[in-house]
Every structure is written in C-alpha cells, then in structure tokens.
Structure 1
Amino acid sequence: KLSKERKVINVILLLFVLGTSVFFQRIWMFTLLFGLLLILLYNSEIVENSMKKWVSISKLTEGDWLIKEVKYRNIKIVPKPTGISKEDLRKLRKLYREGKVRKVLIKEGIPFVPVFLISFLMTLYFKEFILLSLANFLTSS
C-alpha cells in the first residue's frame, strides 16, 4: 500500500506532465513523457513495497536508510535523508547489546536514481538549448 506522501508525489508528477504537455507540439513527446510517468509510478510502488527489509542491528552500516524511528526510554533515533549516522549506529548497537532492540526496518536501494530521472527529463525538455550552448562553446574555442 502506498503512503500518503507517495500518493501526493504521484499526483504532483501527473499534474506536471499534463501541464507541460501543453507546451509540446509533437504528440509523441507527450506520449513519451506520459509513458515515463507511468513507469515512474509503477516503480514507486515497487520501491515502496519491496525494497524494505528488517535487518539485525549487527548488520547495519553507516548510511543505511532507517524507515521507522527507534525509541527506547530517552534514546530516540529518527530516519534521516542521509541515512544512519555513526552516532545513531553507536546508540543502536548499545541497545542491541542490552537486548532492547533486535532488528530495524530499513530501505534498500540506489540513492541516485531520482537524480538520474530528473536529469534525463530535463535533458529531453532543454535539448535544443543544451546542444546550442555546446555548439557555441566548441566553436568559440
């Protein structure tokens, strides 16, 4: 099941593609972008549902993405975009040694995939500008 945040992102992406399709004179470009959007939505479901796993504290490494926050008395470790820090890992290992926490839910994945997708879409959208800029740079040297 998709989270509320993921659903909001999916709706925003759909509105973005539909909104920018007005500027495209060729129908194939709209079809391509709409197809990419459908692939992205499907991929987000796969990521949301299949890339989570429970991992023993002893197998955690710095940078793993924590999904649920871990709380025990005055110790609180919250998920961060950069992943688990050395300090968080030290706290988790202390709780593990004391027998308070055995496993945590993390998200496995490739951290730069969203950046590659956004870069690809921007390249499609601004391809003439990029090519003209590159041509001007090469001819001015």
Structure 2
Amino acid sequence: MEQVLIFADYILIAITFIYLIIASVTDIKRREVPNWLSFSFIILGLAVRAIACILIKPLTISNYSYLLYGLAGFLVFVGLGIAFYYGRIFSGGDAKLLMGIGAAIANMSSLKIISSYIFLDKFFIFQFVLNLLLVGLVYTLIFAFILTILKWSRIKNEVKNLFLKRKFAIIIISSLSLVLAVTFFILRINFIGPIFLVLMILPWIYVIIKPVQENGMIYEISVKDITEGEWLAEEIKIKEKIIKYKWDGINEKELKLIKENFDEGRKIKIKKGVPFIPVFLIAFILTFIFGNLFLELVNLLL
C-alpha cells in the first residue's frame, strides 16, 4: 500500500512540475493560461489518485482517503481561487491552475522521505499557499521596479505628482516606522524590527507602483492580434455599444464585434498584467527546499 502511494506521489510531483513549467511559458508569452491546460491538470491529478486507490488492496473505504484528499484539496483551492479572482488578485487562468495544484498535492505521504522537514508531508499544501503569497509579493515588486526603470520616461511625471499629493502621509508613515524599527532593534526584539522597516518603504513602493500599473503596462496592438481575455486600456465604441475594461477581459462576443467593425491594422490600447504563473512554479520548488519560508525568515531573525 505504502509503495503504491509513494509511487503515485512521485508521479503527481512530476505532473505538477511539468504543468507549471508549460503554464509559466504560456503566461510569459501570451499572458494567459489555456483552459485545456488547467482542466486537464485537474482531471489528471484526480485520475492518478483514483488509480492509486484502485491498486491498493483490499478495497476499503479507508483506502480511498488518498482520492478524498485530492477532492478536498481541489474544493479548498476552488474556494481560494474564487476568492483571489473576485479579490482581483488572480485572473481566471491563475485561479483554475490553482485548483489543479490543490487536486495534485493535497497530501503527499512520500514527502517525509524526500524532504528533511518532518511535517512537510502533512502540511505541504498549506506551506505552499503561504510561500505563494510571500514569493508573489517579492516577485511583483521586482517586476514592477524593472518595469519602472524601462518605462521611467513615461511615468516619471505621474510619480512626481503622486508623491506631491501624498507627501505628508508618506513622510509621517516612513519617519514613524523608522523610529519604531530602530527602537525594536535597540531593544533586541529583532523579529519585529523588520516589520517596521517594511512599513517604512511601503509608501514609496506605492508611489512608484501605482503609476506603473496605470500607465507603464499599456501597449498598442493591432486588431488582428487581439485575443479573447485581453484587458482594454480605453473604451471602444462600436455603433451603440461601448466595450469597457473588465477584470475577465474581452469576451468572445465582444472580440467578434471588434474584428468585424475595425480594420485589421487599427491599433487598440490594451493593458498587460504581471505574468503570475511563474510564482506558482517558484513557490512549488522553494517549498520542497525550505518548507515554510515564513518560519525560515523568523528563525534567521531570532
């Protein structure tokens, strides 16, 4: 029984790794994750768990727990995916891929063998979510700062105006946070000091990132190249209908309307989001190596 589950875990690990690589490449290239990729990931993850249960003898209800864990992980990540989607954190493609991850790595009995973290097999899925949030924050900041450098000539006036508008709040928050950070370091309460250092720089990050989001990620593409799910950066009026920006992007009906009424060479402004699927891959790998990154950071500070 244990050998079957260990073998199934290795298969699921390989499947997850391969799917995350493919999804990362498509997200970077096209800023989308195809539905067939996410749905096949979900089906394959649950299928491997079902086959593993069938191979376990005797066939009892307890032996089907491996499949039930997969279904539970899928349902939990359905809830997370919906929450992140309507919270405007994930796109639809990101949310669907997250559901596949839930089905695949809900629990993994073999991880206690391939990892030095004794609780990694039981809590891998939860540690992955925590790491996903932490890595996602760092990744988004790095992406935004690189984009800021590349688009500085376009957004520098917006950055200046936003700073002047919020300068009193920025100076007060930053100064107070610096004083508190220094105080905690002097008192040798090292795990709280970095929190206030982060709070000190957050207002400055906001001043830079907001103009990047509003102006630095806008591109012009031809009508012939526009695809379903694109985010419009400006309203498009076609006869009596106005097509506006929506979180889920242009739908099939709107895309058809645009292509039927505009020349192929006409330029349309769209907004590109941050390709977030690589964060899934990075968090997946780091969870194997370090376990809970939050705990590792706390241990370094203590």
With the shorter chain as reference, the TM-score category is: 0.5 to 0.7
Query: Residues of 1 paired with 2:220 and 2:228: CA distance?
Result: 16
Query: Residues of 1 paired with 2:220 and 2:266: CA distance?
Result: 10
**1:106 aligns to what?**
270
Secondary structure of 2:242's match? Answer: strand
**1:133 aligns to what?**
none
CA distance change for structure 1 residues 111 and 40 in 2, over 3 Å: closer, same or farther? farther
> Which consecutive unaligned segments of at least 5 residues does structure 1 have?
117-126, 129-141
2:238 to 57, 72, 77: 72
**2:224 aligns to what?**
58
Task: Tell me the CA shift for residue 52 of structure 1.
Answer: 0.7
Secondary structure of 2:219's match? Answer: strand
CA distance change for structure 1 residues 112 and 44 in 2, over 3 Å: closer, same or farther? farther
**1:48 aligns to what?**
214
Deviations 1:42-99 (A, max 9, x none): 12222323211111111111111101111132232111111111111011001124x8
Deviations 1:97-123 (A, max 9, x none): 4x8x9221111122659xx9xxxxxxx
Amino acid at match of 2:226: L
2:261 to 90, 95, 98: 95
Query: Residues of 2 paired with 1:36 and 1:43: CA distance?
Result: 10
Query: Residues of 2 paired with 1:75 and 1:92: CA distance?
Result: 11
**1:139 aligns to what?**
none
Amino acid at match of 2:244: V
Q: CA RMSD in A?
A: 4.0
**Overall identity of the aligned pairs, in %:** 29
Amino acid at match of 2:240: N
Amino acid at match of 1:102: R
Secondary structure of 2:199's match? Answer: helix
Secondary structure of 1:76's match? Answer: strand
TM-score (ref. length: structure 2): 0.29
Structure 1 moving runs of 4+ over 6 Å:
none
Query: Residues of 1 paired with 2:239 and 2:229: CA distance?
Result: 24
Q: Could you say which structure has the larger radius of gyration?
A: 2
> Which consecutive unaligned segments of at least 5 residues does structure 2 have?
1-156, 185-191, 281-293, 296-302
Secondary structure of 2:204's match? Answer: helix
Number of equivalent positions: 107
**1:85 aligns to what?**
251
More strand by percentage? 1
Query: Residues of 1 paired with 2:241 and 2:194: CA distance?
Result: 54
Amino acid at match of 1:70: I
